[in-house]
Amino acid sequence: MLPNDDIRHYTKRDIQDIYNISLSKIDKEIAAKKLGIIKIGKSVRIPRHELYKWLKKYNTKSVSV
């Protein structure tokens, strides 16, 4: 399942809701530099292209950017 293409940046909560994974899993992926982020103050945003790259690692189906 791909996220909404109208959205350019996602929050960790968005990803949690879309893919039903824990925030701690997302935090671990960010800490391991497997999921690229943008920080604005304390806010963390995941760019759509970074999310697609991350998904591609775990998905055998093709993902277009």
Note the pLDDT tens digit of each residue in 20-58.
999 999 999 999 999 999 999 999 999 999 999 999 887
In a domain, 54, yes or no: yes
Q: How many CA atoms lie within 13 A of 61 on its CB side?
A: 3
Query: Is 1 inside any structural domain?
Result: no
- Residue 2 forms part of a structural domain: no
pLDDT per residue as tens digits for the range 3-24: 566 778 999 999 999 999 999 9
Residue 58's pLDDT is what? Answer: 78
What is the reported pTM? 0.77
Task: Burial-class residue 9 by CB neighbours within 10 Å (0-12, 13-18, 19+).
Answer: middle
Number of domains into which the chain is organized: 1
Is residue 3 within 8 A of residue 46, CB to CB? The reply is: no
Domain that holds residue 40: 9-58
For residue 4, the model assigns a pLDDT of 60
